[in-house]
Amino acid sequence: MRSLLLTLALLTPLYALPAPAPQPSPPNIPSPTVAKSELASLKVAAQGPQTGYSRDLFPHWITISGECNTREEVLKRDGTKVVTDSKCASTSGSWYSPYDGATWTAASDVDIDHMVPLSNAWKSGAAAWTTAQRQAFANDLKNPQLLAVTDNVNQSKGDKGPEDWKPSLQSYWCTYASMWVKVKNTYSLTITSAEKTALVTMLNTC
């Protein structure tokens, strides 16, 4: 009987399960190799003071197209089967938060995270920028600076860098660090030594 079952098993065609659909993600995420190279080139320096900082100095969310502002554009980009009304508000769809693995079906449960927080950018070089430069940074859809995540997870991150906050899903550390490095490199922002150590640790999980 055992030999018969083995024969039947060998004769039965094997069908691979379909791979899960890729989750939408921000653009221009570098490979781990590129991220490590870019990290090595970043200037290491102590953070500047918080003096003078205000979120209002980084105008967001600006109109991108028609009735759609930056937040709404990211919700459409990062969501699945997103339906919007005439004012570009998301009325249905689902959003997977890569930080914690949660999926949400109400846009109100989702925040748009600035990968490099505005306050961190201010203390890393953006204090010297023009308002136009800070606006471009706060609404950047060309680099991995904005992504849809669970609202309270985003709030727990606040303005912390990777030395003080990491996604609870360790499987996302590689991508998270790669995105962080890309943004800092694109905008010539500095990093602290503790920040660099944390990024190296995260990139070593790739």
pLDDT tens digits, one per residue of 162-174: 999 999 999 999 9
Rounded to whole angstroms, the Cα distance separating 165 from 199 reads 11
Report d(CA 200, CA 194) in Å as an integer. Answer: 10
Q: Is the pTM of this model over 0.85?
A: yes
pLDDT confidence tier of residue 24, bands split at 50, 70 and 90: low
Q: Which residues contact 64 (CB under 8 A, 6 or more apart)?
A: 70, 72, 73, 139, 141
Mean pLDDT of the chain: 91
Is residue 4 over pLDDT 90?
no
Q: Does the pLDDT at position 17 exceed 60?
A: no
Collapsing DSSP to helix, strand or coil, 90 comes out as strand
Any idea which residue has 């500047």 for tokens?
Answer: 48
Q: For CA atoms 68, 72, 73, 77, give the dihedral sign.
A: negative
Mean pLDDT value across residues 78-97: 96
Tell which phi-psi region holds residue 92, choosing left (phi > 0), alpha (psi between -120 and 50) or beta.
beta
Closest CA to 42 of 177, 204, 206: 177
Please tell me what DSSP assigns to residue 188: T
